[in-house]
Structure 1
Amino acid sequence: MAVLSPGAVPSALLRKDGESLLEFTKAMGILKAFSLIDADDRETNYRMHDLVHLATQEWLESQAKRATYEKGALQVLADKFPSGESQQWDQCKKIYPHAGVVEHFDTSSASTSLQKARLKQKMANYVRAQDQYDPAMKRHEEAAEAFQKERRTRDLETLNNMSDMGLTLTYQGCATKGERLLRTATSGIEEIQGPQDLNTMNHLARLAENLLCQAKFSTAERIYRRVYTNRKAILGEGHLDTLLSLSYLGPPLEWLGRLEESEDVNQRAVGGMQRILPVHHASLYLAEIKLCFILQKRGKLEEAESSARRSLENRLAIYGPGHKWVGWSTQTLSLTLRDQGRHEEALYHSKAVVQMREREFPANHILVIKAIYTLAFLYHGLQGYDQASIHYLDCLARAQMSYGLLHPLPVAIRAQYLRMIERMTDVELNWRTFVSPRAFWMTLSPKQFSILAHFVGVPDPQRHNRNVGVELLETYCFVLVTYARQLWHRVMHMVIIGLIILSVILCESMIFSWIDRRIPFS
């Protein structure tokens, strides 16, 4: 305890492997009796008093034993720090402060260097799950350097860490770099463990997720289907990993326009998870959100609203208002309310999503951009053009800062903004004149880039089979033509103004010339 953080230490870190509960309780009881430590009510966490903590460190230093205990603490943390799965987050949160101390211990031997690398890799996985991508990437790079130093280039641990780095890069928005690392890691793991191994399937699923982020939907669907087929054969239809694979299939099918098939796999995944998981489980929540989105996009608004409200109530009860996972349910609810014409409620929830995203994520995170764009689109449809312009331009600035000026996403956002400016005087563009509110929002849907249409929940079925390259070409051409037309109008205005000024000057000259001839001044 003396070489760990002064805060509460979970008993799992202190209890030795093979030590009975009776022996452990007796040892802790002696320390408590001398007031060296105290414990919580359930005696699951122990804390050393600050003065005792400092004095013990000084004593270890004087006895030249501190390095020995630091080495032991490093080994314990490397072994017992969880892998970072969602169901382990509470445990990770308790251990993380102690791991943060241990990771900075000075180590020289090869064995301790590898233990530190393993610890850093696990810590990186946890902070990545908390959307802290820069600290995660830094630790993955340090772990990779340690593995490489020991010449373990094709070692399974090295390849797993490489895969983790690829996934982190994907979440950072560097999907192309991430794909290279994921392909290399997955190929190496497949060679070592075999093409049907479950670990190979896990890394293939990561690669598919990366491809999905790059709009390579057909390839992503093919890989996800392979993962699902293999897991089903090995684990069975009702296993959680199999059901997760089924849930993963939903988004690529949705993006490919196969909405009915996407709904079917999502319904099966949610139904299976509800039978085996508690209501608060993260995997069940994410599967339910995917199902809500597809129901909303298929126009099954009452069912989507009911599912979104139920999910939102569960999340609020577990995490409280403002938590990032509450944002998904709130956003889906906002879209379903909008499509039913309940625009005041939709605006309220859409604004709440923006506030949650900005509080939980970096300013230029894709989820922040998506939330702001969705709010801008809502104002756009309600003819609140001033507010829509503010949010479109804010969204555009963030996207350009994150992805660059010529990236398809900011160009497509600019295209939608220009489209709004061009049609601001169109009196027929009013949701009350349409058969249903959803029909209006479908008409207003972004035409240049289907990804934006998916952002706001109104994809055009006629554009699902369009080639992404063709869409991008249309987007760039639309923006260029619009700006060229605006430039032409400005040039023509300047020419006309110039001609008027020239005409005035000529007329003035002619008038004065006539006056000079007609009126003698001498």
Structure 2
Amino acid sequence: MLGPSVARRVGRAGRGGVCGERARLALATNGSHRKSQLAIEHCYRVREASPETWVFWVHASNEARFEHSYRGIANCIKVPGRQDPKRDIFQLVHDWLYDERKGRWLLILDNVDDANFLLKTPSAGRNRETEGKRWQPLINFVPQCQHGSVLITTRSRIAARGLVDERDIISVEPMEMSYALLLLQKKVGPQEKSEDVVELAAELECMPLAMVQAAAYIVQRRPYYSVQQYLVKFRKSDYKKIALFDNKDIQVREELRRDSEAENSIITTLQITFDYIRETRPSAGDLLALASFFDRQGIHEELLRVKQGQHERSSNSVQVWEDKDSSSQSSADDSRFEDAIQMLRAFSLISVDMDGVNFEMHGLVQLAIQHWLKKNDQLGTWQKESLRIIAKSFPGGEHETWTKCQTLLPHAKKVLSYKPGEDKEATQHQATIASKTAWYLLHIGEYKASVSMGRRAMTEWEKIREPGHKDILKSMWQLGSAFTRQEKHEEAEVLHRRSVEITQAVLGPEHCDTLISLSYFASALERRGKVELAESIHREVLQTRTGILGPEHPHTLLSFSLLAQALSGQGQYEEAEELHRRALEGREKIWGPQNQRTLDSTSFLSIVLSNRQKYEEAEVMSRRALEGREKALEKEHPDTLTSVYCLAYLLHHRHRYEEAILLYQRASSGYTTTLGLNHPRTQACLNNQLSLERLLHRQASGDPSHEPRHEVVDDSTDQPYPGPLEVRLPGAELLPKESWWRKFKKKVHKA
């Protein structure tokens, strides 16, 4: 079925002399778009509009098929001399076509995916007396004249460019849904429900060959089969999809003149194209193989910069551009990559966005490539490579990387669905991806998804790491934090208790990992109401760190802060204030007043000062934290917004409502944009904002029963002062930089 724009442009090829010098056009599609069917439909339209026009069909997939078709034309039009072995059949047909007295004609060159056999000049030494002018390229025997037109069908835009001008290439874009529904409904018949037909067309991404093949499968199994049953089977797994499309028993009715040797299966058709690409440009084949394992949309260029080694290609060896910076890559590498991309685009196997850096593939194209790789024992190699690339590319989940994390998240989920078996390296890649993804999901408030991904990370790490290994412990700490965010405090306590038992047994009671596990465990106990036990553990950790590392070490300062928070939860504000001041003083000395760790201590101190009714100093500290974060971070950064929220809360508490409401509005608007409306931090801020707005409304209405009073909504029931900072990742600093890890372990070892 021809769309209006395609029909309009192709129609010019059937009007002979009207086309003038543009009487040769190329129809470029990929193997999924039934290019031969488009050409057949055009032929019928030409004959209907002009019955006297000759229509000739040439199977042009290779030289032998081309010659066979020319002999068939010669026999059809009964060209004199066609049976003389000394006469050149190509020249005879050419001369007949060139003769204007024979009338108008349309010549279809079908399946010209490799134009080299048409364009190359035959080797020297041929007998020109017996072969006539066969020393010329075959394309010279396709006449260009006023009364004749040529339509070429191809899967390769590169082949098309070798035969026609760029302006004469008609690119057949994916079929519009409206036309896809017409085609599919026609093939399956009126007895099928329209909503099922719509779903099937969407699942098949409106690919004509796929729809025709699916319809044939359904029709041949009636009355025991329907579109709905096909959908159920299709959606079960990739294996089922392959079985449906690679079924040799499906009989697809072909129109007159289509090459009987051409494949009907979309899987086989795409695999033939893949074979050709691998033979002519191996780098393009490798790039396509890799792309088939990512999510089909939003495949960024940096994920695809793959090259083969300089030596013989191996199915078990893949090299990847490190892409550290543009200067580290040779121009030859860039050129090979661009050439490979160009070839895949020419075959319509990938498409590119307006920026030229993100690519997209049809899902069935990916499926066909994976099926080919599986048959050739290369599936595991490319799955492992896709895992390695995502493991390396996915950031750690910090706010400044959220955009990249969001872009890579679909790819991370896709590669995590693969089953690497006993391959330890592939399992490590999956564990790394799951860990990074879990942290990112935790930061953006997707707590349920974070728990699921955290469980996956911990399971994968436990397969390849010994008990007590840092990777396992980090996954336990992350998962426990996610449980806390879901308010599953019992599960968090159980998990952190387990990490403590493992580290104490394997690493010893004073190991840095043991102390981190104890800190997480104590924080979990606080939320379970076991505040006295939590306090004692925090004091024990603080004492141990002070003895080993000294009172000014960053880990010791962290323990000051954690113990202070535990004391605040019990209303012991005086000692909490002292500890927060010590943490703040130490952090200022190490990192300076504008460091984020220092600003965290500034914020916590502000909260304690407010609880002690030292409002003026609390406000000074709160504004200092906000100013510091506005300078160091962007205004929409969650930490900046939390400082805005803290200050709004403090001013609300002090009945300075006009300034407080403006700050609430800024914080809630920023949270909604950055974290989303349903994020707990957004909801807590909105609750306090709405509470204050109701109060101001009652004041404005002159309600005599209302007196100004503290009406802040408590978003943290176990805190006298509902510090918005409590919404932050608990103990985020418990994951120290590697340099601190090394120094810490050296001191523990010496001790």
Name the TM-score, length of structure 1 as normaliser.
0.61
Flag the 1:126–1:357 CA change in 2: closer, same or farther, 3 A: closer
Contact 1:10 1:95 in 2 (8 A): no
Contact 2:688 2:713 in 1 (8 A): no
More helix by share: 1
Paired residues, number:
400
Quick one: which of 549, 558, 564 aligns to 1:244?
558
Contact 1:324 1:357 in 2 (8 A): yes
- Partner of 1:181, secondary structure, is helix
Matched, 1:67 2:380: yes
Question: Does 24-33 or 224-233 show the bigger shift?
Answer: 24-33
For 1:479, the equivalent position in structure 2 comes to none
Distance 2:654 2:416 in 1: 53
Distance 2:339 2:359 in 1: 11
Distance 2:596 2:503 in 1: 27
Shift of 1:141: 2.7
Distance 2:405 2:598 in 1: 21
Distance 1:298 1:11 in 2: 58
Distance 2:413 2:359 in 1: 20
Quick one: which of 80, 86, 103 aligns to 2:416?
103
Shift of 1:8: 4.5
Distance 1:82 1:195 in 2: 32
Contact 1:84 1:92 in 2 (8 A): yes
Cα deviation, 1:307-338, whole Å, max 9, x if unaligned, reads: 32333344445554554323321222123323
Flag the 1:160–1:178 CA change in 2: closer, same or farther, 3 A: same
Quick one: which of 415, 421, 435 aligns to 1:121?
435
For 1:169, the equivalent position in structure 2 comes to 483
Contact 2:445 2:680 in 1 (8 A): no
Distance 2:386 2:595 in 1: 32
Cα deviation, 1:444-471, whole Å, max 9, x if unaligned, reads: 7999x974642289xxxxxxxxxxxxxx
For 1:204, the equivalent position in structure 2 comes to 518
The equivalences for 1:284-303 within 5 A come to 284-303=598-617
Matched, 1:9 2:322: no
Distance 1:296 1:195 in 2: 37
Distance 2:713 2:328 in 1: 67
Cα deviation, 1:389-435, whole Å, max 9, x if unaligned, reads: xxxxxxxxxxxxxxxxxxxxxxxxxxxxxxxxxxx98x6x745xxxx
Question: Does 92-101 or 321-330 show the bigger shift?
Answer: 92-101
Distance 1:269 1:66 in 2: 54
Contact 1:159 1:185 in 2 (8 A): yes
For 2:587, the equivalent position in structure 1 comes to 273
Counterpart AA for 2:302: V
Contact 1:10 1:94 in 2 (8 A): no
Shift of 1:195: 1.2
Counterpart AA for 1:168: A
Contact 1:220 1:252 in 2 (8 A): yes
Contact 1:166 1:179 in 2 (8 A): yes
Shift of 1:175: 0.7
Contact 2:444 2:679 in 1 (8 A): no
Contact 1:128 1:136 in 2 (8 A): yes
Distance 2:359 2:695 in 1: 61
Distance 1:10 1:276 in 2: 39
Flag the 1:16–1:192 CA change in 2: closer, same or farther, 3 A: farther
For 1:455, the equivalent position in structure 2 comes to 722
Quick one: which of 571, 574, 586 aligns to 1:257?
571
Structure 1 regions of 5+ residues with no counterpart? 38-45, 388-423, 432-439, 458-522
Shift of 1:174: 0.8
For 2:646, the equivalent position in structure 1 comes to 332
Contact 1:377 1:456 in 2 (8 A): no
Flag the 1:189–1:9 CA change in 2: closer, same or farther, 3 A: farther
Flag the 1:330–1:265 CA change in 2: closer, same or farther, 3 A: same
Quick one: which of 322, 327, 336 aligns to 1:31?
336
Shift of 1:173: 0.9
Flag the 1:27–1:296 CA change in 2: closer, same or farther, 3 A: farther
Shift of 1:367: 3.6
Contact 2:519 2:538 in 1 (8 A): yes
Flag the 1:49–1:331 CA change in 2: closer, same or farther, 3 A: closer
Distance 1:236 1:16 in 2: 45
Shift of 1:360: 5.5
Counterpart AA for 1:7: H
Task: Name which one, 1 or 2, has greater alpha-carbon Rg.
Answer: 2
Shift of 1:346: 1.7
Flag the 1:190–1:119 CA change in 2: closer, same or farther, 3 A: farther
Counterpart AA for 2:417: H
Shift of 1:294: 1.8
Q: Which structure carries more relative contact order (alpha carbon 8 Å, separation 6+)?
A: 2
* Percent of aligned positions that are identical: 22
Contact 1:179 1:210 in 2 (8 A): yes
Contact 2:688 2:712 in 1 (8 A): no
- Partner of 1:108, secondary structure, is coil
Flag the 1:342–1:31 CA change in 2: closer, same or farther, 3 A: same
Name the TM-score, length of structure 2 as normaliser.
0.44
Counterpart AA for 1:178: A
Distance 1:48 1:357 in 2: 29
Counterpart AA for 1:308: S
